[in-house]
Amino acid sequence: MDDASQTYDVAVIGGGPAGLSAAIALAQTGANTALIARRAPYADNRTTALLGGSVDFLQAIDVWPRCRDKAAALQAMRLVDDTERLIRAPEVRFSAGEIGLDEFGYNIENRRLLVALEERAAELPALTRFDDEADMVGPGDVDVAIHTAGGKSLSARLVAGADGRQSLCREAAGIEVKRRSLDQSALTFNVSHSRPHRNISTEFHTPQGPCVFVPLPGDRSSVVWVAAPKEAERLIALSDDELSEAAETQSHSILGRLRVEPGRHLFPLAIEQPRQFARHRVALVGEAAHVIPPIGAQGLNMGLRDAADIADIVGRAMAAGEDPGAPQVTKHYDSARRADVLSRTFAIDIANRSLLSDFLPVQSLRAAGLHLIGAFGPLRRLAMREGLAPSWRSTRRVS
């Protein structure tokens, strides 16, 4: 259905994984929801390590059963100091069994997750899809006016801005963003290998950033290789044979012979943080609300928590007869997301800086910290639990 004639309770703008998840969760609460997003094949080969409550959330929105068989369980994680510096951290191994779990989560290719999300979104009667782009978002006193590139006009009492890094919604709400480019790029590609990964993800810490091998189903893994921009440019230009060899060397052959699969992408890294997470009837979701480097697999996991929270808060407001875009509702969302996003951004930034630092005392502190985490069970278990999801977060209702 494509119905521009009415005012919606909520309009979600942007159909990446965060936007689609938010639209499904919102429509499931019964909110009359518009989704303004072009249907297009997923453009890159990123994968997501779904951690903590992400799988439960995807289960609650009836997406997980549609893609579970495309995901690989993550049962252990190894951190290996590959800096060859004078002071090096010992290897640290985290096992899900240590905190009473069968697995930390699951790694899945984003394009497979997107297919499952699209399939579920198409089923919901409360969700109206506009296969289009928003080219004007105008927050007003009682609603938000939206115009699309295809010439449609609609309005909604609340907009969930899930339109990524260059968010038009964020700009329309007058939300400023703090931006810091990092002198690093992430190269992503997938590999097949001759030895099994045994559901262990391994992170090699190099002086330019981490290089991570994350299990995929079968004898395959996804690789996120963070390096200085020049080095990343060199790596992406290698032939398949050369890149296979470079990745095998970087992995110290723990997965045996590596063979790169078609498709590589380069992502310049940055940290972006808006001053508010909601304002003037616009709530930010996904990368519109936070951009962090791919360390500790946090980005989309936070995006899914944004989606769960906006649906929960809107569902409760509407059940109480409130306007879903009223200032108290957007304020509630802003405070619900603030501690999670700010604390994680800070922790990832520190972890990244401590790895890159040439300053010996910082290197010693980092090595000592990892040594403590590796040696003391309670500390290691605390780090594992906090790495999965904030411990203070209550479970959110979604449907």
Ligand X SMILES: Cc1cc2nc3c(=O)[nH]c(=O)nc-3n(C[C@H](O)[C@H](O)[C@H](O)COP(=O)(O)OP(=O)(O)OC[C@H]3O[C@@H](n4cnc5c(N)ncnc54)[C@H](O)[C@@H]3O)c2cc1C
Mark 287-306 with x for binding to ligand X (rule: CB under 6 A) and - for no binding: x------x--xxxxx-x---
In this structure, the number of other CB atoms found within 10 A of the CB of residue 395 comes to 12
**Of residues 37 and 60, the one with the C-beta less far from ligand X:** 37
Binding of ligand X at residue 156 (CB under 6 A)? no
**Joined tokens for residue 100:** 């009473």
Binding of ligand X at residue 16 (CB under 6 A)? yes
Mark 195-234 with x for binding to ligand X (rule: CB under 6 A) and - for no binding: -----------------------------x----------
Please, which residues have CB within 8 angstroms of residue 180's CB and are 6 or more apart in sequence?
Answer: 270, 271, 272
Please, which residues have CB within 8 angstroms of residue 80's CB and are 6 or more apart in sequence?
Answer: 91, 202, 203, 204, 205, 252
Cα–Cα dist 186/268, whole Å = 6
Cα–Cα dist 198/49, whole Å = 16
Cα–Cα dist 186/357, whole Å = 18
Minimal distance, residue 303 CB to ligand X, in Å: 5
Binding of ligand X at residue 164 (CB under 6 A)? yes
Q: From 16-24, 170-178, 203-211, 354-362, give the range in contact with ligand X by CB under 6 A.
A: 16-24
**Of residues 114 and 329, the one with the C-beta less far from ligand X:** 114
Minimal distance, residue 269 CB to ligand X, in Å: 7
Minimal distance, residue 267 CB to ligand X, in Å: 4
Minimal distance, residue 156 CB to ligand X, in Å: 13
- Nearest residue to 184 via CA among 250, 235, 254: 235
**Joined tokens for residue 243:** 């890149």
Binding of ligand X at residue 18 (CB under 6 A)? yes
Mark 134-153 with x for binding to ligand X (rule: CB under 6 A) and - for no binding: x-------------------
Minimal distance, residue 320 CB to ligand X, in Å: 29
**Joined tokens for residue 117:** 């999300």
Interface positions, 29-68, toward ligand X (CB under 6 A)? 36-37, 46, 48-49
Q: From 17-25, 60-68, 323-331, 365-373, give the range in contact with ligand X by CB under 6 A.
A: 17-25
Q: From 66-74, 158-166, 230-238, 338-346, give the range in contact with ligand X by CB under 6 A.
A: 158-166
Applying CB under 6 A, among 105, 274, 286, 325 the residue interacting with ligand X is 286
- Nearest residue to 52 via CA among 352, 344, 273, 372: 344
* Structure-token match 């091998």, residue found: 213
Q: How many residues bind ligand X (CB under 6 A)?
A: 31
Cα–Cα dist 119/2, whole Å = 17
Please, which residues have CB within 8 angstroms of residue 210's CB and are 6 or more apart in sequence?
Answer: 203, 204, 224, 226, 295, 355
Q: From 96-104, 161-169, 272-280, 312-320, give the range in contact with ligand X by CB under 6 A.
A: 161-169
Cα–Cα dist 327/333, whole Å = 10
Q: Residue 295: left (phi > 0), alpha (psi -120 to 50), or beta?
A: beta
Minimal distance, residue 21 CB to ligand X, in Å: 8
**Of residues 165 and 252, the one with the C-beta less far from ligand X:** 165
Interface positions, 248-277, toward ligand X (CB under 6 A)? 267
CB contact at 8 A, 71 and 108? yes
Binding site for ligand X (CB under 6 A): 13-19, 36-37, 46, 48-49, 133-134, 162-164, 168, 186, 188, 224, 267, 286-287, 294, 297-301, 303
